[in-house]
Amino acid sequence: MIRPGLTFMLWLAIALVVLVNDMIGDTIIADRLPAIAVEWYKVLVPLPYVVLMAIVHARRTAGPKWLEAALLAALLWPSTTVLVEYFYGRHTFGQEPEEFLDRFAFWWGAPYPLLVVALFAMPLVAAVLRSRSR
Residue-level pLDDT at 107 = 80
Render 65-106 in DSSP notation, one character per residue.
Answer: THHHHHHHHHHHHHHHHHHHHHHHHHHHH---HHHHHGGG-G
DSSP assignment of 4-44 equals HHHHHHHHHHHHHHHHHHHHHIIIIITTTS-HHHHHHHHHH
Query: What pTM, to 2 d.p., does this model score?
Result: 0.92
Domain boundaries, the chain: 10-133
Written as tens digits, the pLDDT of the chain (134 aa) is 889 999 999 999 999 999 999 999 999 999 999 989 999 999 999 999 999 999 999 999 998 999 999 999 999 999 999 999 999 999 999 999 999 998 888 888 889 999 999 999 999 999 999 999 86
Determine whether 56 is exposed, middle or buried from the number of CB atoms within 10 Å of its CB (0-12, 13-18, 19+): middle
